[in-house]
Amino acid sequence: MTETGGLWASIKETVKTIVYALLIAGIFRTLFFQPFWIPSGSMKDTLLIGDFLFVNKMAYGYSYASCPAVKIPRFGIDLGPEDFCGAFMGADDRLFGSEPERGDVIVFRHRGKGEDYIKRLIGLPGDTIQMRDGLLYINNEPVQVTDAGEFVETTAAQGPQRSRPGCAEVVNDDQCIKYRSRETLPNGVEHDVLNTRDGNRVTATIDTDNTPIYTVPEDHYFFMGDNRDNSIDSRVPWNPASGTGVGYVMREDIEGRADRIIFSSAGSSILAFWTWRKDRFFKAIE
Quote the DSSP letter at residue 168. S
Question: Taking the CA atoms of the chain, what radius of gyration do you get in angstroms?
Answer: 21
Q: Is residue 123 part of a domain?
A: yes
Q: Is residue 246 part of a domain?
A: yes
Quote the DSSP letter at residue 22. H
pLDDT of residue 19: 55
Annotated catalytic residue, options 42, 66, 264, 265: 42
Q: Is the pLDDT of residue 28 over 70?
A: no
Render pLDDT for 123-179 as a digit per residue (tens, 0 to 9): 999 999 999 999 999 999 999 999 999 999 999 888 877 888 889 899 998 999 999
Q: Is the pLDDT of residue 202 over 80?
A: no
Q: Is residue 90 part of a domain?
A: yes
Q: Which residue has the higher pLDDT, 4 or 49?
A: 49
Range of the domain at 53: 32-139+211-284
Q: Is the pLDDT of residue 192 over 70?
A: yes
Q: Is residue 102 part of a domain?
A: yes
From residue 108, alpha-carbon distances to 8, 167, 273 in Å are: 45, 28, 30
> Three-class SS of residue 254?
strand
Q: Which residue has the higher pLDDT, 188 or 30?
A: 188
What DSSP assignment string belongs to 234-252? TTS--BTTTTB----EEGG
Q: Is residue 188 part of a domain?
A: no
Q: CATH number for the domain including 223? A: 2.10.109.10
What DSSP assignment string belongs to 46-111? TS-TTEEEEEETTSS-B-GGGS--EEEGGGTEEE-HHHHHGGGTT-SS-BT-----TT-EEEEEET
Q: Is residue 186 part of a domain?
A: no
> Does residue 119 carry a catalytic annotation?
yes
Percent of the residues in the chain that have a pLDDT greater than 90, as a whole number: 60
What is the phi-psi region of residue 4: left when phi exceeds 0, alpha when psi lies from -120 to 50, beta otherwise?
alpha
Largest CA distance in the chain: 80
From residue 214, alpha-carbon distances to 116, 221, 234, 236, 248 in Å are: 23, 11, 9, 11, 9
Determine the average pLDDT of the residues in 207-236. 95
pLDDT of residue 5: 59
Annotated catalytic residue, options 119, 178, 264, 265: 119
Number of folded domains that form the chain = 1
Quote the DSSP letter at residue 40. S
Q: Is residue 191 part of a domain?
A: no
From residue 229, alpha-carbon distances to 15, 94, 137, 152, 210 in Å are: 50, 33, 16, 16, 12
Q: Is the pLDDT of residue 4 over 60?
A: no
Q: Is residue 154 part of a domain?
A: no
Render pLDDT for 266-281 as a digit per residue (tens, 0 to 9): 887 777 888 899 999 9
